[in-house]
């Protein structure tokens, strides 16, 4: 059973529900079947800052743009 998000055309209530292929969804607030399917998006949240990628040490990479060492090393 897929989960869908809807907005009711009669009372403007937004909700999500599991829908079987043989059923018509209803608004849980006013029981209307005049619904608009909404575009669902996934949301994420975190309290942590994103982890920084470790930089290679000077001379350890074979970057074609590297002249006299690693282009990722500050001061070069």
Instruction: List, run by run, the mean pLDDT of 10-residue segments along the chain (76 residues).
Output: 90 92 93 91 68 57 56 54
Q: Return the structure tokens found at 8.
A: 């009711």
Q: Specify the residue for token string 């002249």.
A: 67
Q: How far is Cα 33 from Cα 6, in angstroms, rounded to an integer? A: 10
Q: Is the pTM of this model over 0.85?
A: no
Q: For position 67, what pLDDT does the model report?
A: 54
Within 10 angstroms of residue 40's Cβ, the number of other Cβ atoms is 11
Q: For position 53, what pLDDT does the model report?
A: 59
Q: For position 12, what pLDDT does the model report?
A: 95
Chain centroid offset of residue 7 CA: 21
Concatenate the DSSP letters of all residues of 24-70 into one string: ----TTT----EEEEPP------SSPPPPPPPPPTTS---TT-SSS-
């Amino acid at each position: 059973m897929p989960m869908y998000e809807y907005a009711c055309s009669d009372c403007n209530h937004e909700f999500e529900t599991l829908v079987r292929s043989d059923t018509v969804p209803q608004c849980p607030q006013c029981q209307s079947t005049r619904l608009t399917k909404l575009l669902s998006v996934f949301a994420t949240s975190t309290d942590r800052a994103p982890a920084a990628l470790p930089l290679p040490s000077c001379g350890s990479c074979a970057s074609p743009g590297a002249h006299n060492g690693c282009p990722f090393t500050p001061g070069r």
